[in-house]
Each structure stands twice: as structure tokens, then as C-alpha cells.
């Protein structure tokens, strides 16, 4: 049984607690069952760094009526509860999640996470690039890059393809094969 959630954040500024979009893709029994995306009004509102806007295309006016991280966390946590978390460049996304939880005074769940870059490197050795866009192109996956829901779903698809290539079908096998890459939130 292969169960995990892929997560992605977009941020308004260089501050890790400035999540302006969160996407979670839930995988149960090796199948994508749900992808959820939230626009989030960050603590920095209305300030957004121009460079961040250039990356993801999210403007302050897009989130002016959006809920805060505090408002959406319980719904997101339910989707993630008990699951292994996977993210592309996981140190960034885990850092954003940690910072948002700290900023809003939430308890940090004890959650294991993996980086899909490491999963891809284990599965497909010697690729020229392991960025999300490059891996998506390699596997003919189309998506709206730098939008959290799309990035989370493509991360899940790439992880599933890599697990299949590694003949991994259960979470205990994931933990065995990738144990040195496994981290705790």
C-alpha cells in the first residue's frame, strides 16, 4: 500500500512564513485521489516581492479576500494526517510549512518527509537535470509550473513513476530504499 501526500508552496516574499498558495495532492494505494489548492493571504499582505510575483504570477489582489494559513491549516492537516509527505526541493516546502506553523502558533505534527529530487535521482541516474519542469518534460507531463496545486500533483506523479521504476509498492519499501533521505518535519 503506497500512501503519501505531495505538497507545494508559493511564497509572497523571501520570508518562509509568507505562503500565498498551498497545494496538496493525496495518494492512496498508489493512486491520486485528490488535489486541493488554497490561495492564502500571507502575513506580509499587501506586500509581495516583485521577483516572487514574476515566478508564480500571484498578485496581492489575488489573495486580498483569501483565508490566512491559520484559516486553512486544519483542512490541510486532515489531508496530510498520518501520511508521508513528499515535496520537490523538500527543504524549501518543509521550511515554509514549519515557519507557517510557528508563526500561527500551531503544533508541528511529527511527520516524515522526502524530497522528490532524491527519489528521482535514485530512480533515474545520470539525468542532466532533476528540476520539476525537466522531470515533467522527460515524462510528458504537462502542468502550470509554479502554481502550488499543479506542482504538488506533478510531484506526486513523478514520485509514483519513480517508485514504479524502483519496484516500490508499499510505504515500508519507500522507507527502506530511501531511509538515508527520510527527514522529520
Q: pLDDT of 118-137, one tens digit each? A: 999 999 999 999 999 999 99
pLDDT band at 79 (very low <50, low <70, confident <90, very high): very high
The pLDDT assigned to 81 comes to: 85
Of 37, 183, 44, 167, the C-alpha closest to 103 is 44
- Cell readout for 40 is 492564502
- Cell readout for 33 is 485521489
| Distances in whole angstroms, Cα of residue 67 to Cα of each of 5, 20, 58, 118, 154 | 22, 10, 15, 33, 25
DSSP three-state, residue 37 = strand
Q: Flag whether pLDDT at 17 surpasses 90.
A: yes
The pLDDT assigned to 118 comes to: 97
Tell me which of 108 and 94 has the higher pLDDT. Answer: 94
| Distances in whole angstroms, Cα of residue 93 to Cα of each of 3, 87, 118, 173 | 19, 7, 15, 24
pLDDT band at 1 (very low <50, low <70, confident <90, very high): confident
pLDDT band at 82 (very low <50, low <70, confident <90, very high): confident
| Number of domains the chain is built from | 1
What average pLDDT score do residues 89-111 get? 96
**Reported pTM:** 0.96
Span 155-167, pLDDT tens digits: 999 999 999 999 9
pLDDT band at 89 (very low <50, low <70, confident <90, very high): very high
Q: Flag whether pLDDT at 71 surpasses 90.
A: yes
Residues 105 and 131 sit within 8 Å (Cβ to Cβ): no
The pLDDT assigned to 76 comes to: 97
- Indicate which CATH number applies to the domain containing 78: 3.30.420.10
The pLDDT assigned to 160 comes to: 98
pLDDT band at 94 (very low <50, low <70, confident <90, very high): very high
Q: Flag whether pLDDT at 19 surpasses 90.
A: yes
Instruction: Please list, residue by residue across 55-89, b when 16 or more beta carbons sit within 10 angstroms of its beta carbon and e when fewer do.
Output: ebebebebbeebebbbebbeebeebbeebbbbbbb
The pLDDT assigned to 162 comes to: 98
Residue range of the domain that includes 163: 4-184
**Distance, CA of 12 to CA of 18 (rounded, Å):** 5
**Distance, CA of 72 to CA of 119 (rounded, Å):** 29
Amino acid at each position: 500500500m503506497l500512501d503519501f501526500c505531495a505538497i507545494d508552496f508559493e511564497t509572497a516574499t523571501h520570508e518562509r512564513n509568507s505562503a500565498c498558495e498551498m497545494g496538496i495532492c493525496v495518494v492512496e494505494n498508489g493512486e491520486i485521489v485528490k488535489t486541493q489548492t488554497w490561495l492564502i493571504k500571507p502575513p506580509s499582505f499587501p506586500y509581495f516581492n516583485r521577483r516572487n510575483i514574476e515566478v508564480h504570477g500571484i498578485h496581492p489582489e489575488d489573495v486580498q479576500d483569501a483565508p490566512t494559513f491559520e484559516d486553512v491549516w486544519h483542512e490541510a492537516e486532515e489531508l496530510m494526517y498520518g501520511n508521508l509527505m513528499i515535496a520537490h526541493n523538500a527543504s524549501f516546502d518543509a521550511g515554509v510549512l514549519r515557519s507557517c506553523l510557528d508563526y500561527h502558533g500551531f503544533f508541528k505534527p511529527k511527520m516524515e518527509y522526502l524530497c522528490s529530487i532524491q527519489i528521482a535521482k535514485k530512480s533515474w541516474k545520470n539525468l542532466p537535470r532533476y528540476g520539476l519542469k525537466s522531470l515533467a518534460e522527460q515524462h510528458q507531463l504537462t502542468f502550470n509550473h509554479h502554481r502550488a496545486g499543479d506542482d504538488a500533483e506533478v510531484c506526486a506523479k513523478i514520485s509514483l513513476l519513480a517508485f514504479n521504476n524502483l519496484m516500490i509498492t508499499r510505504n515500508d519499501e519507500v522507507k527502506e530504499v530511501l531511509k538515508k533521505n527520510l527527514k522529520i518535519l
